[in-house]
Structure 1
Amino acid sequence: MSIPSQAFEQYTVAFYNLENLFDYQNDKHILDDDFTALGRNEWNETRYFKKLQKISDAISQIGADFTGKLPAVLGVAEVENKKVLNDLVNQPKLKNHDYKYVHFNSPDERGIDVALLYRADVFELLESKPLSLLIHNDQGVRDTTRDILYVKGKLAGTMLHIYVNHWPSRRDGSGTTEYKRALAAQTLLKHIEQIDVDGNRTKRLEKDNTFIMIMGDFNDDPENDSIKKGILPYGFDNITAPLKNFHRGSLNHRFKWNLFDQIMVSENLYNDIPGDLYVHKADIFDDIMLRQWKGKYRGQPARTFAGGRYAGGYSDHFPVYAVLRRNQLY
Structure 2
Amino acid sequence: MNKSLSFLTLLMLLLSLDAFGQQKFKAAAVGFYNLENLFDTEASVGYIDGTRSPNDPNYHISIKASDISKYDTVAYRGSYTYENLEGKKIIRPLILQTEEFHPNGKKVWTKERYNQKLKNLSEVIAELGKTDTQTAPVIVGLCEIENKEVVEDLINQPALKRFDYGVVHFNSMDARGVDVALIYQKSRFQVTKAKPYFVEIFHSDGYRQYTRDILRVTGMLDGEEITFLVNHWPSRSGGEQVSMPKRKKAAEVMKGIFDEIRAEDPNAKIIAMGDFNDDPTSPSIKQVMGTEGKKERVKNADIFNPMEAMFKKGMGTLGYRDSWNLFDQILVTGTLVENNKKFDSYKVFKTAIFSAPYLITPEGQYKGYPFRMYGGDTFYAKGYSDHFPVYTILLREMK
1:63: Cα distance to partner?
A: 0.6
Aligned pairs for 1:246-285 within 5 A:
248-271=315-338, 275-285=344-354
SS at match of 2:199: coil
Indicate which of 41, 57, 60 corresponds to 1:24: 41
Matched length: 321
CA distance in structure 1 between the partners assigned to 2:121 and 2:396 by the alignment: 29
SS at match of 1:162: strand
1:194: Cα distance to partner?
A: 1.5
Q: Which residue of 2 aligns with 1:206?
A: none
Q: Which residue of 2 aligns with 1:223?
A: 281
- Name the aligned partner's letter for residue 108 of structure 1: D
1:198: Cα distance to partner?
A: 6.4
TM-score by length of 2: 0.77
CA distance in structure 1 between the partners assigned to 2:159 and 2:385 by the alignment: 18
Unpaired runs of 5+ in structure 2? 16-24, 46-92, 292-300
Unpaired runs of 5+ in structure 1? 201-208
Q: Which residue of 2 aligns with 1:36?
A: 102
CA distance in structure 2 between the partners assigned to 1:222 and 1:194 by the alignment: 23
CA deviation string 1:273-314 (max 9, x = no partner):
663100001000000011112234222111011133222310
Q: Does 1:70 align with 2:140?
A: no
- Name the aligned partner's letter for residue 124 of structure 1: Q
SS at match of 1:46: helix
SS at match of 2:44: coil
CA distance in structure 2 between the partners assigned to 1:125 and 1:80 by the alignment: 22
CA deviation string 1:186-213 (max 9, x = no partner):
111112212211672xxxxxxxx30011
User: 1:306 and 1:245, CA in 2 relative to 1: closer, same or farther beyond 3 A?
Assistant: farther
Indicate which of 223, 241, 254 corresponds to 2:308: 241
User: 1:273 and 1:158, CA in 2 relative to 1: closer, same or farther beyond 3 A?
Assistant: farther
Aligned pairs for 1:1-330 within 5 A:
4-6=10-12, 7=15, 8-28=25-45, 29-31=93-95, 32-33=97-98, 34-197=100-263, 200=266, 209-233=267-291, 235-244=302-311, 248-271=315-338, 275-312=344-381, 313-327=383-397, 329=399
CA contact (8 A) 1:245 1:257 kept: no
Considering Cα pairs closer than 8 Å and 6+ residues apart, tell me whether 1 or 2 has the greater RCO: 1
CA deviation string 1:41-90 (max 9, x = no partner):
11110110000000000001111000001000000000001110110010
SS at match of 2:242: helix
TM-score by length of 1: 0.93
Look at both structures and tell me which one has the larger radius of gyration over its CA atoms. 2
- Name the aligned partner's letter for residue 20 of structure 1: N
Q: Which residue of 2 aligns with 1:205?
A: none
User: 1:183 and 1:247, CA in 2 relative to 1: closer, same or farther beyond 3 A?
Assistant: closer
CA distance in structure 2 between the partners assigned to 1:318 and 1:180 by the alignment: 24
SS at match of 1:169: coil
- Identity rate, percent: 40
TM-align CA RMSD:
1.7
